[in-house]
Structure 1
Amino acid sequence: MKLPALAATLLLASAAPAVAAETPFEWLEAVDGARAMEWVQAENAKTLPVLTGDARYAGLHAEALTILSAKDRIPTSKFIGTGVYNFWQDAANVRGLWRRTTLGSFRSATPTWETVLDVDALAKAENANWIWKGSNCRPVTHDRCLVDLSNGGKDAVEVREFDLKTKAFVEGGFRLSESKQTVAWLDADTLILTRDWGPGTTTESGYGFVVKTLKRGQPLSEAKEVYRGSPKDVSVTPMVYRDAKGQRVVVLRRAVDFFHTEFLLLTDKGVEKTQIPQRSTIQGFVNGDLIVTLEESWTRPRFDKDKDPKVFASGTLISITPDKALGKPLTGPNGEIVISNNCDPCVVFEPNARQSIDQVEVTDNRVAAVVYDNVRGRLMTFQDRGEWGWRASTLPTADNASINLVSASDGGDQLFFTVESFVSPTQLSLGELVAGKLEVVKTMPARFKADDLTVEQFEATSKDGTKIPYFVIRKTNLKYDGSNPAQVFAYGGFQLSKLPLYDPINGKLWLERGGVQIVPNIRGGGEFGPAWHEAALKQNRQRAYDDLFAVAEDVVARKISSPRHMGFYGRSNGGLLAGVALTQRPDLWNAVVVESPLLDMLRYHLLPAGASWIGEYGDPTKPEEAAWIAKYSPFQNVKPGVKYPLAYITTSTKDDRVHPGHARKFAARLEEVGAPYLYYENTDGGHANAADPAANAKRWAMHYVYLSRQLMD
């Protein structure tokens, strides 16, 4: 359907960046609105025949579905009590089975699984569109869990108490109606939680800011308030940490924006504010110490006036006792300040300029951390030696790999973790951290032919002279003549790193068919710690885009590919990156996949949960910030008369994290200026855009049909 011309309105919006009361195509923001859904159905009707009607679609779909439904893939393992639990989906169990086995059985080649909850059967019995969103089991006894169920994949969930012994929902147990909510067990019969409690209890981002405790048998209306943040906050969430000695600390995380969090402790005296820097992450609690990653430098005053303040560098992993976190000195029997030789806070590990800490997990007696050196991972463990500080050890894992911490045991020092690379299938290992022993428990079968692939790492020079590393995964015998179909995949935001991951879908549907994969480590990510992320925040956002363009130009200069055969793929914040790639440098690409994207950056804060990201992008309600946002916002920068490559824009109706209105309006704007595009909207799936293996297989088959048409044909 042809949409009315609104170019003049867009030009006015660009000239005056302050957000207008009404913007072009705003009616497409009505998620389930009749007019908006009529538009979606019309767009889907145009796109589906093009992509699913391609001769390659059936084969690509079959290969994707085989991978996504494979019964020999590694079961994601989670310790609950003494058992190992897994959530499993395949062709016969589309919504999935929550199941369990013993650790001994799990270590065997053919574990014996016991079904705990059949989500397909539950959805059928209740005539509901349930999607599994995880579980949170009560400590010590590990006999009951809070199960999160989502309607169609939304972030908002219904929470129900489930008995692991009887394998049934607890009659009269905890049951919380649908909301974006965070819940923790305070004790066996008390929850501490935040959610939508009614009018005036959610932030502008749509998250709760009122923390309450709820006892067993109480209705939500009788929950007791313990803390109230502000509607201007992103959220306030409770976290309960316990160590092996039975000590407990209750932390309230008041996120004042996406990256700045005020940490408070719930004590016998009430809620007390800590001195932990706002750009920090509490990773766990071990031996009476909070384990904290600092995302900013911290100058910590000493209680001994004769000593200089202690400075901790940004990116450092530290330990600190709750009392010291509150700024309380150690006192003697008469109230005098006691100076201890022990460090508190203590440095656990301090990365150098080309290192970063990616993940941290704690067990009863150890801290484990994944450390990356120039985007190549290793697994380190740390032992607290009291006044001698922390002792570091490196566990033997594959070189030049990506490591993911999966689950720590509820008692003891066991840790499941995976190791993988671009061309090496994922291995699941069990680490005995005190003994320093590792056991490979499972290895994923190879999903694509990789013995003829080569992985290289190059550097490009960005506009300001910064060196940007990037990986190239290609056929070994590939000729650098500019004719190679290449997909560039980047993210560049929220301190999330692009790591050497084994991607069976990409390997089978792209690399095996002769495609090249390019993975840039641009600023905005976390590859080199907090500073790498901060370099592309807010008014410096263009640096991330310049980094991407520098990598693409380097790929062309090396004749790895050329603009005729090179495409870009991005999702979520990467979808914003894709939109910028299309609008700023249409000359670099012949394909751009824009998935689940942010695109109207002058209105993103008004669309759930956009207001939570002001710390990343800036505030469009402030004219000076709106001015630099408007310079790159893709929706505002689509221009008539520009030759754009055919874009593929895709999202989900049920995405309640990145609003589908972004994708819809962008497509409508492209149509208005006569630019080519394909648009497809999945009516289920949530932000991940894949509610089940069948839907996910369709999604990826359509992606690679599009890329094949644009880059290989």
Structure 2
Amino acid sequence: MKTLDLLRLKRRQLTTLGAAVSLAAALLPGTLHAADAASAPEPADPHQWLEEVLGEKPLAWVKERNEASFKVLKARPEFEPLRQDLLGVLNARDRIPGVSRMGGFLYNLWQDEQHKRGLWRRTTLAEYRKAEPAWETVLDLDALGAAEGESWVFHGAQCLGPSYRRCMVNLSRGGSDAQVSREFDTVSKQFIKGGFELPEAKSQLTWLDENTLFVGTDFGPGSLTDSGYPRVIKQWKRGTPLSAAMTVFEGEAKDVAASVVVDRTPGHHRVFFQRALDFYSSSSFFLQGGKLVKLEIPDDVESGFWGPWMLLKPRNDWQVGGSTYKSGTLLITDLKAYQRGERKFKVLFQPTATRSLASYNLTRSHVLLSVIDQVASKLEEWDFSKPQAPRHREVKAPFPGALHLASLYDSELPRDELADRYVLYYTDFLTPDTLFLSRAGSDERQVLKSRQAQFDATGMRAEQRFATSKDGTRVPYFVIWPKGATADGSNPTLLYGYGGFEVSLQPGYSGGRGRAWLGRGGVYVLANIRGGGEFGPAWHQAAIKANKQRSYEDFIAVAEDLIAAKITSPRHLGIMGGSNGGLLMGATFTQRPELFNAVVCQVPLLDMRRFHKLLAGASWMAEYGNPDDAKDWDVIRQYSPYHNVSKDKTYPKVFFTTSTRDDRVHPGHARKMVARMTELGHEVYYYENTEGGHGGAADNEQRATLQALEYSYLWQQLGR
């Protein structure tokens, strides 16, 4: 997987479906002009001491605020029933085990009440088809943690095909992004004594062969980018110390990261390196004859490789070969011909005003397109079994809702009966997940797994509506109505949003939300605001950097539309979002506090003066801009929540959550915002889990407790 894809995946992992200030806490918007910002000295931030993550004084501060919030929220009559309900959903035995294929096995990480940190296990497709498959445990994370006295969280494994016996298993302490990596044998099910082993870092590694790894990690001073990711890639030979590994590729400190991919497709073996220049652009280089050869494509064109083919997706309109291809188009071309200078492409997908390409998957002879049409999923495919005359067709799949697919194609196997098979998930707001086994080229599919209903949806309904933003843009949103609800202005309503990094929010089933909110009479609303990817790159680019405020205006427009339609009223309207969505919460409630009576602000960015100086924050400047640039800061400071809290405004009693182990979005954001609001006389709730990383929780017990606190708070604030 490419570096940019990895980083985007990390953002998508926070779906609860993903940075900081040195200006004085007393600085109010409008008092400092851009021309002054570059020269005026910056007063000290009185709360910056809270950025010391594990400091004795900050942790004592955290403990005190956690206990104050617990005292109120855990005493609520809803809390324990909610916690038990949510834990029941999280540990339910009929959950569909998500799998990834490696050779002849399907692998899964399973967590439940007996295995809180999980079993890394495997089975065959024949077994997986059964109602109760026989699973073979490969690694017991709870037993490993107990034996080593560590709070290990499984972070996946890089395994060497086609046998997939040798793996580098990644283990995180408490769920942080940083991890240790150890060589593991999936046959003996043991870590290999004297094998490859990397110390804790945000590492990136790939097998070249059984005795060689490409490694990007913390090699010491200068080896990481400003964002804290690998800048240097080295080739590490078995039996030699890491210090003897040879540098083969380097990026620059200002890059997001450097990475390497090894393609072992028979007949098309190749190695290429990549510099992620920012979150949305990159430069790629092939290793040919021991030399690096740059792939001559624009930095904002995403590339992928499939046997002899190269797939290209421009993020901006691209003029090439006498034609112009719109942003979000998917093209395919012969790689060798392209490298010779030819510029002949076939268009596999072209966006429209309502249709965008969410992703594509590859089988042996098909390109599968996941299309978003008015925020619902559709599936299309191209058949390349006859490369000179590829055929396109629409796949008849469940609609409307969200489709997620994963190819079972293993490009390293010369013969593979699953080469044109894939698994397809379907869900919507009120329909439990169903997993199908599908075959490219056919509409026929078999149900592999389906979930029982986790809540009674009788009488509930979902509808799509549109709000009009400040600049006239139509913004779609979904309303899910509980049984018996009417538009009388009194419905407890939870509005969720994200609006960043081209992440799309689509219909999805949540047993926890159904039991804790819909089933208790709450209305749920999902907003598809600009900054997301629901309508392709243009929808995202319309609300970044100088135009980031549009995300907040879109979200506010949805809130106003809910109130105008009497779906709810400010007394009963709450909002929720995490990570970039936490910034959305902060910007929205500081700008329009009168619209809301509850705010759940999860693992948030809030101090936008220093976000780029904390942890991975520098990698997000392509989204927000550079606060050290006077022109950018003049825009950012207008919405930076930490800089826009006022003593004279009345705010809802906000609930901030974060994690001590979050090494992506610094917990100092939430800590300092709470300190700032408290000193100005505003009441808030605060909960900082000591584990969990950017997801906020490391196991189902922690997730259930966190969610029960959040829903107890929401019912306290919004209930009739």
TMscore range, shorter length: over 0.9
Residue 516 (structure 2) pairs with residue 509 (structure 1): yes
By how many angstroms is 1:17 displaced? 4.5
Q: How is 1:162-311 mapped onto 2 (pairs within 5 angstroms)?
A: 162-243=184-265, 245-283=266-304, 285-301=305-321, 309-311=322-324
**C-alpha contact 2:25 2:643 (8 A) present in aligned 1:** no
Alignment partner of 2:591 out of 554, 566, 584: 584
Cα separation, 2, equivalents of 1:425 and 1:377 = 16
Match of 1:110 in 2: 132
Structure 1 CA distance, aligned partners of 2:400 and 2:447? 18
Alpha carbons of structure 1 residues 324 and 35: separation in structure 2 relative to 1, 3 Å: farther
Aligned to 1:644: 651
Aligned length: 687
Q: Could you tell me the percent identity over the aligned residues?
A: 43
2: CA distance between counterparts of 1:490 and 1:682? Answer: 22
Q: Secondary structure at the match of 1:512?
A: helix
Q: For 1:642 and 1:545, locate their aligned partners in 2 and report how far apart those are by CA, in whole Å.
A: 19
| 1:337 corresponds to | none
Q: Which runs of 5+ in 1 are unaligned?
A: 302-308, 331-342
- Distance in 1 (alpha carbons) for counterparts of 2:714 and 2:302: 39
Alpha-carbon shift at residue 649 of structure 1 (Å)? 0.4
Alignment of 1:345-360 (within 5 A): 345-360=345-360
Q: Residues of 1 paired with 2:118 and 2:25: CA distance? A: 47
Match of 1:528 in 2: 535
Matches of 2:594 and 2:58, distance apart in 1: 32
Q: Is the 8 A contact 2:464 2:476 kept in 1?
A: yes
When normalised by structure 1's length, the TM-score is 0.93
Q: Check conservation: 1:144, 1:161, Cα contact below 8 A.
A: yes
Question: How do 1:546-557 and structure 2 match up within 5 A?
Answer: 546-557=553-564
CA, structure 1 residues 679+507, in 2 after alignment: closer, same or farther (shift >3 Å)? Answer: same
Matched residue of 1:522: which SS? coil
Classify 1:318/1:188 alpha carbon distance in 2 versus 1 (closer, same or farther; 3 Å). farther
The answer on whether the counterparts of 2:28 and 2:646 sit within 8 Å (CA) in structure 1 is: no
Rounded Cα–Cα distance in structure 1 between residues aligned with 2:83 and 2:450? 25
Distance in 2 between residues matched to 1:606 and 1:443, nearest whole Å: 45
In structure 1, C-alpha distance between the alignment counterparts of 2:430 and 2:700, rounded to whole Å: 23
Judging changes above 3 Å, is the alpha-carbon distance between structure 1 residues 12 and 372 closer, same or farther for their aligned structure 2 residues?
A: closer
Structure 2: distance between partners of 1:543 and 1:8: 26
Q: Is the 2:544–2:623 contact (alpha carbons within 8 Å) kept by the matching residues of 1?
A: yes
Structure 2 distance, partners of 1:357, 1:199, is 41
Give 3-state SS (helix, strand or coil) of 1:610's partner. Answer: helix
The question of 1:570 aligning with 2:592 is answered no
Q: Do the aligned partners of 2:583 and 2:641 also contact (CA within 8 Å) in 1?
A: yes
Aligned twin of 1:605 = 612
How far apart are residue 7 of structure 1 and its match?
A: 4.8
What is the deviation of 1:9?
Answer: 5.4
Aligned partner of residue 449 in structure 2, secondary structure: strand
Equivalent residue, structure 1, for 2:340: 328
Residue type at the aligned position of 1:279: D
Query: Superposition pairs for residues 87-486 of structure 1, below 5 Å?
Result: 87-243=109-265, 245-283=266-304, 285-301=305-321, 309-324=322-337, 327-329=339-341, 344-384=344-384, 388=388, 390-410=390-410, 411=416, 412-486=419-493
Instruction: Report the CA distance shift for 1:134/1:707 in structure 2 as closer, same or farther (over 3 A).
Output: same
Deviation of the 1:394 alpha carbon: 2.5
Deviation of the 1:436 alpha carbon: 4.9
Secondary structure of the 1:483 match is coil
Displacement of 1:378: 1.3
Distance 1:320 1:249 in 2: 17
Letter in 2 for 1:678: Y
- The answer to whether the 8 Å contact 1:182/1:195 transfers is yes
Residues 1:201 and 1:21: Cα distance change in structure 2 (over 3 Å): farther
The Cα of 1:417 is off from its aligned counterpart by 2.5
One-letter code aligned to 1:129: S
2:32 and 2:150 map into 1 onto residues whose CA distance is 44
Instruction: Report what 1:340 is aligned to.
Output: none
Q: Write the deviation string for residues 6-63 of structure 1: whole angstroms up to 9, x where unpaired.
A: 6545679856545837323000000011111111111111111111111110100000
Unmatched 5+ stretches in structure 2: 1-22, 411-415
Question: What is the aligned partner in structure 1 of residue 6 from structure 2?
Answer: none
Q: 1:230-279: per-residue Cα shift (whole Å, max 9, x none)?
A: 10111111122343x44123232211111111122222241122122322
- For residues 555-595 of structure 1, what are the alpha-carbon distances to aligned partners after superposition, in whole Å with 9 as ceiling and x for unaligned? 11110011110000010000000001110010110000011
Query: What is aligned with 1:306?
Result: none
Q: Is the 8 A contact 2:462 2:478 kept in 1?
A: yes
CA distance in 2 between counterparts of 1:8 and 1:707 reads 30
* Greater alpha carbon shift after TM alignment, 576-585 vs 172-181: 172-181
The alpha-carbon deviation at position 448 of structure 1 amounts to 1.1
Is residue 2:673 matched to residue 1:660? Answer: no
Contact 1:25 / 1:665 at 8 angstroms: preserved in 2? Answer: yes
| 1:648-689 deviation line (CA, Å, top 9, x unaligned) | 001000000000000000001110111121011101000000
Cα distance in 2 for residues equivalent to 1:96 and 1:459: 42
Query: In the alignment, does 2:64 pair up with 1:57?
Result: no
CA distance in 1, matches of 2:500, 2:118: 32
Query: How far, CA to CA, are the matches of 1:399 and 1:501 in structure 2?
Result: 12
8 Å CA contact retained: 1:205, 1:234: yes
Could you tell me how far 1:391 is from its partner in structure 2?
Answer: 2.1
Q: Match for residue 8 of structure 2?
A: none
Deviation of 1:420 (Å): 0.5
How far apart are the structure 2 equivalents of 1:218 and 1:417? 44
Match of 2:567 in 1: 560
Q: 1:189 to 1:273 in 2, by over 3 A?
A: same
- Verify: 1:44 aligned to 2:44, yes or no: no
Task: Give the secondary-structure state (helix, strand or coil) at the position aligned to 2:520.
Answer: coil
